[in-house]
Amino acid sequence: MTEVLDRLAKPRASRKRTPTAENSKGLKAIAALAQNYSYAQIQAEAAAGKSVIWGGFSWESPLIYACDTIPVCIDQLWLDKSRESEAIAEDHFQIPGEFCSMIKTVIGRLHTDQGNNIKRILHFGSGCEPIHAVFELSKRDGYDVQTIETVSSFTNEEKRPAAIKILVSELQRIAVWLSGKPVDENRVAEEIRRKNSLLRKVHKLFELRGKHPLYISGLQTLLIFMGSMHGYGDLEAFGKAVDSLIAELEALEVKPLDSAYIPLVVAGGVGNRRLLEAIEESNGAIVSWVIGGDLLYDENLPPLESLAHYVLDAQGRGDLGEMVGASVAYRRLRVEDEVRRTGARGIISSSIIGCPYASLMQQLERDYFKAHSVPLLALETDVHKEPPTEEQIMRVKAFIEMLA
Ligand code: SF4
């Protein structure tokens, strides 16, 4: 370790670095979509009479779109005013300061913006328990909250017909809540095909990104992950941007990664731009990133059953994070697969400070990869935009230097 700190104290000669594609049309289009997808713009759509809900942007999104409703990711509740929202959570709702910043910003923002135009919230009961409590509290502020019944499956054997039946009936109920009429299954099937088509493109893009890990920066990769869930409100435009990026990557010559770079697998969001930059400045090359799911919906099943199978399979694989519960126990297995597949030399695992699930997940990962002699750096971040501490940045740089 002393040797590593000595090396960090004396900056080494800068290595040849391939810049990310500054003139990439695909990356510019994705950045523009992400920039326009703002709290204000979403509120304006709701004010103009569109049906918009908080939540419903994950595994269940084909049903929501089939009910002519726009699902909004709850990250919009902390992308701005996060400190003010957190203060409300701590002062008004008495949530302990050390608890998860996502939870605090969500309840704080829903409370301060009670007059916002989106008054309906959809939640899946198998997800994080604290967020469930937060949405229950929000009912006092006039929100209409619907919770899809808790159904979990940790293994394929647990994916019983009864569990599928419960979820199908819950999805039928949600369709009536959204549109006032029974679900149109043909529309859901159409939306499933639309989402699968986007997911296939995103899979292809990430396959190509693995061959050219320096072309798309960490931050840009994060934007693509987010877009793969909700397309920034415009799945077609997002799909076209992904097509354009695929074409750019296909035109590049595939070369082995320069030995100056340290191949890494990242697990979790690492939401902070400065930490991602620190990885890149230290010549870390993110060759794979375990964050969302990579399953496709089964188009051969009746559409509501297809959604139910999708979420239960995702739980058993460790996909989709806290949004579907159960995943906590499994993320490490997906990370291990990626380390083996890519030959990565280390893992950067991130979690949100104060999240009981993530701290358990990271401890499982620490123990597991220590036993398998794979170096792992565990980072804890929050949802705020302030830069990370110098200590956090130094930990990232020291970790990568140690692997060099
Ligand atoms: S980070 Fe953890 S506690 Fe916070 S919302 Fe997500 S799962 Fe819940």
Confidence band (pLDDT; 50, 70, 90) for 278? Answer: confident
Secondary structure letter of residue 346 according to DSSP: E
pLDDT of the residue at 13: 44
Sign of torsion over alpha carbons 108, 388, 41, 65:
negative
Closest Cα to atom 3 of ligand 1:
355
170-181 pLDDT, tens digit per residue, is 999 999 999 999
28 CA distance to ligand 1 middle (Å): 31
Mean pLDDT of 273-287: 87
362-379 pLDDT, tens digit per residue, is 888 999 999 999 999 999
pLDDT of the residue at 67: 97
Residue among 162, 126, 94, 184 at smallest CA distance from 321:
126
pLDDT of the residue at 49: 95
- List the structure tokens of 370: 């220590």
Does residue 92 have a pLDDT over 80?
yes
Mean pLDDT of 349-355: 88
pLDDT of the residue at 371: 96
Confidence band (pLDDT; 50, 70, 90) for 332? Answer: confident
Choose between 22 and 137: higher pLDDT.
Answer: 137
State how far the Cα of 114 lies from the Cα of 286, in Å rounded to an integer. 40
Q: Which residues contact 26 (CB under 8 A, 6 or more apart)?
A: 241, 242, 243, 244, 245, 246, 247, 248
> 100 and 130 in contact (C-beta within 8 Å)?
yes
**Ligand 1 contact via 95 beta carbon (within 6 Å):** no
Pocket test for ligand 1, best of 58, 86, 352 (most atoms within 8 A of CB): 352
Residue percentage of the chain with pLDDT more than 70: 91
356 CA distance to ligand 1 middle (Å): 7
**Ligand 1 contact via 130 beta carbon (within 6 Å):** yes
Interface confidence (ipTM) of the complex: 0.99
Closest Cα to atom 8 of ligand 1:
128
pLDDT of the residue at 328: 66
Of 11-25, 246-260, 264-278, 323-337, which range is least confident? Answer: 11-25
C-beta neighbour count of 372 within 10 angstroms = 11
pLDDT of the residue at 21: 72
State how far the Cα of 55 lies from the Cα of 23, in Å rounded to an integer. 34
100-118 pLDDT, tens digit per residue, is 999 999 999 999 999 999 9
Choose between 357 and 211: higher pLDDT.
Answer: 211
Does residue 11 have a pLDDT over 50?
no
Q: Which residues contact 186 (CB under 8 A, 6 or more apart)?
A: none
Confidence band (pLDDT; 50, 70, 90) for 271? Answer: low
pLDDT of the residue at 330: 77
Residue percentage of the chain with pLDDT more than 90: 59
pLDDT of the residue at 4: 45
Residue among 295, 208, 293, 191 at smallest CA distance from 244:
208
Confidence band (pLDDT; 50, 70, 90) for 305? Answer: very high
Q: Nearest 10 degrees: CA dihedral of 195, 200, 204, 206?
A: 50
220 CA distance to ligand 1 middle (Å): 23
Does residue 322 have a pLDDT over 80?
no
State how far the Cα of 404 lies from the Cα of 398, in Å rounded to an integer. 10
Closest Cα to atom 2 of ligand 1:
355
Mean pLDDT of 183-211: 95
The H or E element spanning position 230 is helix 218-230
Sign of torsion over alpha carbons 358, 399, 224, 185:
negative
350, HSE (Cβ side, Cα atoms, 13 Å): 21
Does residue 94 have a pLDDT over 90?
yes
105 CA distance to ligand 1 middle (Å): 11
Mean pLDDT of 218-232: 88
Q: Counting atoms of ligand 1 from 1, which one is nearest the CA of 127?
A: 7
Structural domain boundaries, residue 161: 2-403
> 324 and 357 in contact (C-beta within 8 Å)?
no
pLDDT of the residue at 292: 72
357 CA distance to ligand 1 middle (Å): 7
Domain count, the chain: 1
Confidence band (pLDDT; 50, 70, 90) for 12? Answer: very low
Confidence band (pLDDT; 50, 70, 90) for 199? Answer: very high
149 CA distance to ligand 1 middle (Å): 19
